[in-house]
Structure formats: C-alpha cells, structure tokens
Amino acid sequence: MIATIDVTAPAKLNLSLRVLGRREDGFHDIDSLMVALPGLHDRLSFQGADEDGFSCNAEGVPSDESNLVIKALSVFRRETKMMTPLAIHLEKNVPHGAGLGGGSSDAAATLRALDRIHGTGLSHERLCAMAAEIGSDIPFFLGSSVARVGGRGERVEEAPELPEISLLLLKPSFGVSTPEAYGGWRDSKELPGISYAPQRFDWGELVNDLERPVFQKHLFLAEMKKWLLACEGVAGALMSGSGSTMFAVLEDPDCADRIIESARRDLDPKLWAWAGTVGV
C-alpha cells in the first residue's frame, strides 16, 4: 500500500499580462511575468486505496475531468501506464475563478506527486509536455517561482528574483470566466476615469490587458482598482490574470489590515482577503 503523500499547490499572480493576439488554435499569445505565492496554497493528499476516490473540502468541486486534478491523473496514467488506485483529497484555500491559478497549480502538484509515488523519474520536459496538454498555465507551476511566460502559457523562462514585495489580495464573491475574458479582449474599450497605464517599479511594471474586457462586464472590479489606488499606503493596484482578484502593492505591510477593514466597509463586507509577501 502506498503511504500517504501530501503536497502543496501555491497560487500565482500575474504582475504583468500582455495579450499579443489570437492564435489559429483559438488560444491567445501572451507575455506575462508570473510569480508564485507560496504563502497561499492548496494542499493535496494522495493515499493508496482499493479503488480511486476524490474528495474536497470545498462544495461544488467536480470529480470528473473538468477538475484538473482528475485530468492530470488521467494524462499521467495514459503516458506511464501506472494505474495504482488512489484516494485523493484536495484542501482548497485558493479561491476559484480568481485569476490565481488554483486549479492549474493543483494539476501541476498532482503530476509531481504521481511521479514521486510511482518512482517514474520523469524529466522536467516530459512533465511540462503533460502539463501543457492539461491547461495553459500549468507548466509555470513546475518551474521556478518567478518566470516570464509566453505562447499560450506553455513557454516558461526563469526570470530574475524579485525584491521583497508586500501584497494585498482582495476578491469579491463572484468569479470571472477566463474564456470570456480573452474572448472579449479584441473589441474591448477602456472605461472613462479608470487608469490602465503601466505602473512602473524598479523590478518591472504592473499592467494587464484583460482589465479592459473584464472591467467592461464587471464594473465593480474597475471601482475596486480605482478605490485601491486612492488608498494611503498603496503603491500600485492591478487585476491578476482574468480576475476576479484585485491586488495591491503596499508601501508598508502594516497597512494591510487597515485597508482590508476599509474595503469591507466601503466596498463589500464579504470580500475575501489575503496579505503576504513575495521575493527575497
């Protein structure tokens, strides 16, 4: 019987996201600076069993191949012929539909765990090929914590380490559909009174081309960005990925609690929030 193996699956932020154009395969070419958030992660547990099973602490999580963990298991088995029954439990801490890559990270963690469980010793290149088949963002989670990501998300190049950056993440109760965000990109327009210009720092810039289509449909997110940029102690604010998480770069981490309290009072009392740091 296989002993229980636990692995973590960190969230990610898109510090920058440029959409370069629509591809013939229906995806979009991007250029993005992505960073993992090890302080915010899901946890997966794998245990040998008499038959396959999947459970999750969050309601409404599917147990078929629409769940990227199950799809990763299926692709790994097809490629390796390793069919040992497993009981998998997913503890969700990263919000769904948030632009934080929770499902993609879960899939990457599953591939790493299965390689370890079965002792298959798959190369990084082979794991990345499986990951790219499963979903666009997944190869990032098999590499370094900071990377420049291109193509439809399958090209990952290690980027220089970041200085320590204090962050605050805020997410409303609704999520955003990634396909809809990209689908609306080409014809989207800027809303008056909202800043979309790159926000420049010594380490790079904050900019996201998907803010245009997402803000057009979800005006609340545009107002969240405007509100964050007006807060004392906020050096920059942006939507991560296709949303709905908005994040702020903080001048001082000690101001996070104050901003969270104000956001729940002024914007939405049910906002999900997380504060932490990335970089060295």
Last residue of a domain, one of 118, 138, 158: 158
Query: Does one domain contain both 23 and 113?
Result: yes
Print the domain residue range for 152. Answer: 5-158
Query: Does one domain contain both 139 and 10?
Result: yes
Which of the following is catalytic: 12, 71, 171, 225? 12
Last residue of a domain, one of 135, 158, 181: 158
Q: What is the mean pLDDT of the chain?
A: 95
pLDDT at residue 139, as a whole number: 96
Query: Does one domain contain both 170 and 153?
Result: no
Query: Does one domain contain both 43 and 130?
Result: yes
Q: Is 209 a catalytic residue?
A: no
Pair 141, 10: CB distance under 8 Å? yes
Please report, as a single letter, which amino acid is at residue 268.
D
CATH code of the domain covering residue 241? 3.30.70.890
pLDDT at residue 1, as a whole number: 61
Question: Is pLDDT above 90 for 2?
Answer: no
Query: Does one domain contain both 41 and 116?
Result: yes
Question: Is pLDDT above 90 for 59?
Answer: no
Q: Concatenated DSSP letters for 117-160?
A: HHT----HHHHHHHHHHH-TTGGGGGS-SEEEEETTTTEEEE-P
Q: pLDDT tens for residues 256-269?
A: 999 999 999 999 99
Question: Is pLDDT above 90 for 81?
Answer: yes
**Which sign does the torsion angle of CA 54, 55, 58, 60 carry?**
positive
DSSP H helical segments within the chain, as ranges? 68-80, 102-118, 124-134, 178-183, 211-217, 219-229, 256-266
Query: Does one domain contain both 194 and 152?
Result: no
Pair 246, 214: CB distance under 8 Å? no
Which of the following is catalytic: 106, 115, 137, 209? 137
Q: Concatenated DSSP letters for 52-63?
A: -EEEESSTT---
Query: Does one domain contain both 120 and 209?
Result: no
Q: What total number of domains does the chain contain?
A: 2
> What Å distances lie between residue 211 and 135, 206, 208, CA to CA?
22, 12, 6
Query: Does one domain contain both 16 and 131?
Result: yes
- Spell out the residues 6+ positions from residue 213 whose beta carbon is closer than 8 angstroms to its own: 180, 181, 182, 183, 184, 185, 188
Query: Does one domain contain both 182 and 202?
Result: yes
Q: pLDDT tens for residues 167-219?
A: 999 999 999 999 999 999 999 999 999 999 999 999 999 999 999 999 999 99
Q: Is 254 a catalytic residue?
A: no
Query: Does one domain contain both 208 and 261?
Result: yes
Query: Does one domain contain both 115 and 178?
Result: no
Percent of the chain topping pLDDT 70: 100
pLDDT at residue 41, as a whole number: 98
Last residue of a domain, one of 158, 174, 207: 158
CATH code of the domain covering residue 119? 3.30.230.10
Query: Does one domain contain both 33 and 92?
Result: yes
